[in-house]
Structure 1
Amino acid sequence: MAAGEQRGRELTPRSLSKISMGYLVLLLLLAWAYFRYRSSLLEANPPWIFDPRNMLYIAWYGSIGGVMASITGLLRHGEKWNPAWNLWYAARPLTSAIVGVIGYLIYISIVQASLSFDDGFDTKPPRVLGYVIAFAIGYREDIFRELLQRVFEMIATAGGADTQAPSVPPYFEGRIGEDGRHASLTWGHATDNVAVSTYNIYRDQRLLATVKVRPPVLENSGERIEFADYSLHRGGERGGGHNYAVTAVDAAGNESILAGPIWIPIGPEGEPCITSKAAGVLVVKPRQEVDSDPDNDPQKK
C-alpha cells in the first residue's frame, strides 16, 4: 500500500501502555477524590437532587461505559491503529463521565418538570436506572454528543434559517489503489458558520455515498477524511476511469461548491491525476442506491 493510502498501523505495546497509563491515572484521581472528601460527602445531607454523592456514582458509571467503549475500539481497530488516537482513547472515560452526568441531569430535569415543586425534591427517580443511563451514555457518548450538537445547531439557527453553505472541502486528492480495483479519495475539513455535518461523494455526476462527520476528527485539525471506492467494477470497463467530486453539507442542508472533479483511471497503466482545485460545477443527477457503508470507517467513529 502506498504511503498516501496508509490508514494506520498495528496497535503496538507502546500505544497500549499509554492508554493503560491514562486509565490508571484517571482511576487513581477518582479514588483520591473519593477518600479525600469521603467524610464531608457522608456528613452532607442536602436535598437528593444536589447530593454530590449521587453525582460521584453517576460519573463513575459513565466512566466505566467509556472504558468499555475504548476496549471495544481497541479490539475492532487494533490492526489499523492510528497513533493520533492515543490521547482520545485515554481521555475517553473522562469524557464519558462528563456526558454521563449531563445525560443524568437532563433525565432528572424531565422527571422534576413532570412534578410539582414540593414533590420534586421529595420524589427520587430510581437510582439504578440513573446508573444504567450514565453507563449507556458513557458507552455511546459519540451518539449523545452528536445529538447535543444537533440541538445546539437548532438553537443557533432559531433566529432565522441557516442559508450559508459550507466552504469547498480543501486538499481533495485521489488515486487508484495498487491492486487497480479501488479508488482512494482524501480531503480536508470544510468550514461552516454553524457546523459541517456530512460530505457527499459524487462519481460520474451521481451521488455515490455520504460520509458523516464524527469525533474525534475536528475542524482545522490537519487530519484528512478518507474514503475508498471498491465498486469500480460496476462503473465501467477496465482501462477506463471515473470522475470524482466531493461537497460539504451542513445540518440545514446547504451544500458547498464541488471540490473537483478529478479523473482517476482504472487501468494500472494510467498515471493518477491529483488536484485540489474545483474545476467547475457538475450537473448532479438523481440519487442512486449504493451498498457502501462509510460509517464503518474507524477514522470517522
Structure 2
Amino acid sequence: INTQVTTAAAPFGLHYAPDPSSQTICTIGGNVAFNSGGAHCLKYGMTSNHVLGIKAVLATGEVVEWGGGSRERLGPDWCGLFVGNEGLFGIALEITLQLLPKAECFHTVLAGYRTLEQAGDAVSAVIASGLLPGAIEIMDALALEAAVAAVHAEYPPGCEAVLIVELEGPREVVTIERERLDAILAASAPVEMRPARDADERMAIWKGRKSAFSAVGRLSPDFTVQDGVVPRRKLGEALRRIAEMSRETNIRVANVFHAGDGNLHPLILFDGREAGALQRSEELAGRILKMCVEMGGSIT
C-alpha cells in the first residue's frame, strides 16, 4: 500500500513522494500501472520519476528485470516505458522505488474564496511568481460539504472554493518563500486566509482534502470521476465554464483537483436508479473533457 512505504521509511528520515488521494488503499503496483501522481506531483513528479527498477512478467510469460538501484544507467529507459502501461505489457512482480529525504519545514495555507474563478486566478498568480510549492489543491463548495460531513473538516463557511498551498523544504528557504506566498494570497481577495500554525493544524487541513473523493459518496448514490488538464493560466475560465455546464444541465458537479498542474477531477453526481441519469452524466463528462482539449489541454 502506498502509505505503508512512507510509514516504513519515516524512521530513516525518508518518504515516498507520489501521494494519490487514495494512497491509504492503493497499491504500488497499481500506481506503476497508471503512473499515478497526487497532490505533491507539482514539485516531485509522477510515479515514473520515482521508479528505479522493475521485475515484471510479460504477456508472453517471460520474466524480465529492468533498472536497478540507481538512475545512472545506460540503454533505453524500459522502466519508463513500463510505468503507465495499464497492464498491457505485463504485471510488475517487484518494484524498486526512489525515496527522498523528508522536508525539514512546511508552510501550509488554506484560503477561502467567493468564487471558483477567484481560486483559479490565485493559483495562476502563485505559479507566475516563480514559487514552486509542494502542492496546490482546490476544492469547491460541494466537495467541501462532503468533507465537512465525512471527517468534520473545519473549512471557512460560505465559500465557493478553498485553496490549499503548501511550501516545503529547508527551513531557511521556506522562511523566505512563505512571506512571498502569504502576500500573493492576501492580494487575491480571499474571504479567509488561515496558515497552519503547527503539525496538527496542517494535518487537519489535509484530512479534508484527502477524504474528499470518498466523501462525495455521501452526497449522491452514484458519481463518475473525470481526469483532464488545462493550461494553468486558463484554470479560472475552465472552472467557470464547468459551473455553467452544471447549471445548464441541472447536474451537480463537485470539483477536487491538483490545481498546480491544471489537473481537473470533476465528480459528476447522479442517481443511477433514474432513467437516463447515467447517460446524461456521461454526456456532461464528454463536454467537460472536450472543453479541456479546446482550451489547449488534454485528457489524462
TM-score normalised by structure 1 residue count:
0.28
TM-score normalised by structure 2 residue count:
0.28
Give the number of the structure whose alpha-carbon radius of gyration is greater: 1
